[in-house]
Amino acid sequence: MKESLQYKIFKVINVIILLLVVYVTLFPFLNVVAQSFSGQAEIAAGKVNLIPKGFNVDTYKTIIHDKTFWINYKNTVVYTIVATLISVVMTTMFAYVLSKKRLIGRKFFTSFAIFTMFFNGGLIPNYILIKSLGWTNTIWAIVIPGAISIFNMIIMKTFFESLPEELEEAASIDGSSTYRTLLTIILPLSKPILATMVLFYAVGSWNSWFSAFLYLDKQELFPVTIYLRNLLAGASSGQSAGATSADDLTQIAANIKAVTMVLTVLPILMVYPFVQKHFVTGIMLGSVKQ
C-alpha cells in the first residue's frame, strides 16, 4: 500500500522529534562522562561537551586504589540486595492482602497506609526509635525503616486486583492454600510488576545516603554514597579523603562530581537492560485498574 504524502511528512517530523528527545536525554549524561575523564582547566573553562578534553583518569585512580572505597562499595551492594529483597517481599504481601475485597477492615488498612505517605513521626522520633532498638551501626537501620513504599504498594495492589478472581477460586476448589496460590499462581503471573518493584527499590537503595549518614558512624559500615559524599566535601574544603598529593586534590576538586555520578549510576545501568522489558508493562498494568 502506497504511503500518502501526509503520512511521509508525519514520519519525518516524528523521527526528528524523537531524535531531539534522545539528544536532550543523553546529552547531560554523556557530558558528565566526558567531564569525568577531562582535565581541571578544560572543565573550568567550559570546553567539555561530549568529548573529554585534557584526558586524564587521575580521579578514578585515586578512588579505585583506595581500599575504603571498595569496602564501602561492597556495603552498598549488600545493603541494596538485602533491602530490595525485604522490600519486595513485604510490599508483595501487603499489596496482595489489601487487594482482597473480602478482607475485614480493608478500607481502614488502605487509608492508614495512604495516611503515612503524608504524615510521619519526624526525624528525631525516628532516630530515638532506631537507637532504642539497638539498630545504630547495623544494617537493619538502613534496610528496615523504609522497607515498604506506599506508592509502590498501591501500584502492586492495583495489579493484583486486575488479575481474574477465577484463578484463585479454581485453585481453592483444588485444595490450594492461600500461600500456595500466591507462590504458584499469582507470582508467576506478576513478573512484570515484580521486575518493576525490584528496579524501583534497588535504585532507591543504591542511591540512598541519608539513613546511613544518620545512623552509621563507623567508616567501615558506610555505603559508597557516603564515601563519595565525604570525598566531594573533602575536595571542596581542601581535605580530600583518599587524595595522595596536591595534584590529586586539584584534579578531584575539578571533576569529582562527574566521577561521583558515573560510579554511582554505573551498576544500575548494568542491571536495567535485564529488567527493562518488564518495566513498561509492569507500570501500565499496575497503574490503571482494568
pLDDT for residue 283 = 55
pLDDT for residue 236 = 58
The pLDDT mean for the chain works out to: 82
pLDDT for residue 241 = 45
Contact, 237 vs 220, CB < 8 A?
Answer: no
pLDDT for residue 177 = 84
Q: What is the mean pLDDT of residues 160-171?
A: 85
Global pTM exceeds 0.85: no
Render pLDDT for 23-69 as a digit per residue (tens, 0 to 9). 898 888 888 888 888 887 787 777 888 888 888 887 788 878 888 88
Of 255, 241, 263, 213, the residue nearest 77 (C-alpha): 263
How large a percentage of the chain has pLDDT more than 90? 22
Render pLDDT for 109-153 as a digit per residue (tens, 0 to 9). 999 988 988 888 788 889 999 999 999 999 999 999 889 999 999
Torsional class of 2: left (φ above 0), alpha (ψ -120 to 50), beta (otherwise): beta
pLDDT band at 228 (very low <50, low <70, confident <90, very high): confident
pLDDT for residue 246 = 45
**55-59, 73-77, 196-200: range with lowest mean pLDDT:** 55-59
Q: What is the mean pLDDT of residues 223-231?
A: 83
pLDDT for residue 219 = 87
